[in-house]
């Protein structure tokens, strides 16, 4: 299996497709590289698609003291270097937004555009700060798995819900330490990067509601859209709508 070393951690990655612009998918806290099984086949004929496991997830095992998400962006750069991608668009889900947005701010010459799905990225505003306080309580009360996909999806597609949880179960426990104020960037830094952003929300998302993400989109001067009938994991719950939105963004 392919790995690349960065900061004493071996990062697992896959490359699908042999030609076209670079397209990297950065998964959320409930996922890993396998989570993108409904996206990779849809894009690999037109793009050089890269998926990877963030450090501390699935096959990217690492010591507890190096599981900090502040390393995510350099892990991404290491993967891109290893596969020969000088520049790429990054499609991010939830936690993956930290990776894509921080990479855009700190390596703007390497990032063509960032698609933020169900995530405010790494930007901190009063609204996102308040939401995060409430979010921690909701996750502790309900469990991450029970807020990561919508009840509607679980009821209508129990097989899909089972698969989501099975993929998530491959992640390493305990989870990496996600509480680090050092990962955040400012609105001004995001705008100054010159990187194009789009923020995508979904109407049933209990983690990052549409109103919150629409506000973030305004703050960072990004385009915005909202998908109906999906919870926090739009890419998994409504893959056709997710893929269509991403393809339109890539073509813009």
Beta bridge partners of 26: 92
Q: Distance of alpha carbon 208 from its chain centroid, rounded?
A: 13
Domain ranges of the chain: 3-247
User: Whole-angstrom Cα distance, residue 215 to residue 128?
Assistant: 9
Which helix or strand (DSSP H or E) is residue 223 part of? strand 223-227
3-247 to CATH, choices 3.40.640.10, 1.10.10.10, 3.10.129.10, 3.40.50.1820: 3.40.50.1820
pTM value is 0.95
Residue-by-residue pLDDT tens, the chain, 252 positions: 799 999 889 999 999 998 999 999 999 999 999 999 999 999 999 999 999 999 999 999 988 888 889 999 999 999 999 999 999 999 999 999 999 999 999 999 999 999 999 999 999 999 998 888 877 777 777 776 678 999 999 999 999 999 999 999 999 775 656 667 789 999 999 999 999 999 999 999 999 999 999 999 999 999 999 999 999 999 999 999 999 999 999 998
């Amino acid at each position: 299996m392919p790995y690349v070393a960065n900061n004493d951690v071996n990062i697992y990655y896959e490359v699908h497709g042999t030609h076209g612009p670079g397209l990297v998918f950065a998964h959320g806290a409930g996922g890993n590289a396998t989570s993108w099984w409904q996206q990779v086949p849809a894009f690999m004929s037109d793009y050089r698609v890269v998926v990877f496991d963030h450090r501390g997830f699935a096959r990217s095992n690492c010591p507890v003291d190096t599981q900090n998400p502040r390393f995510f962006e350099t892990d991404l750069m290491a993967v891109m270097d290893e596969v020969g991608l000088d520049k790429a668009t990054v499609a991010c889900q939830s936690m993956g937004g930290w990776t894509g947005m921080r990479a855009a701010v700190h390596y703007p010459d390497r990032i063509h555009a960032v698609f933020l799905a169900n995530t405010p990225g790494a930007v901190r505003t009063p609204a996102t700060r308040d939401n995060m306080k409430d979010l921690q309580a909701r996750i502790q009360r309900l469990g991450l798995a029970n807020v990561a996909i919508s009840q509607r999806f679980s009821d209508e597609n129990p097989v899909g819900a089972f698969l989501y949880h099975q993929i998530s179960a491959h992640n390493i426990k305990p989870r990496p330490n996600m509480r680090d104020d050092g990962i955040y960037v400012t609105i001004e830094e995001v705008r100054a990067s010159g990187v194009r952003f789009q923020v995508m929300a979904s109407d049933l998302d209990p983690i990052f509601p549409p109103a919150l993400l629409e506000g973030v989109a305004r703050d960072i001067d990004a385009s915005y859209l909202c998908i109906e009938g999906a919870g926090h994991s739009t890419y998994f719950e409504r893959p056709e709508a997710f893929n269509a939105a991403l393809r339109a963004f890539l073509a813009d």
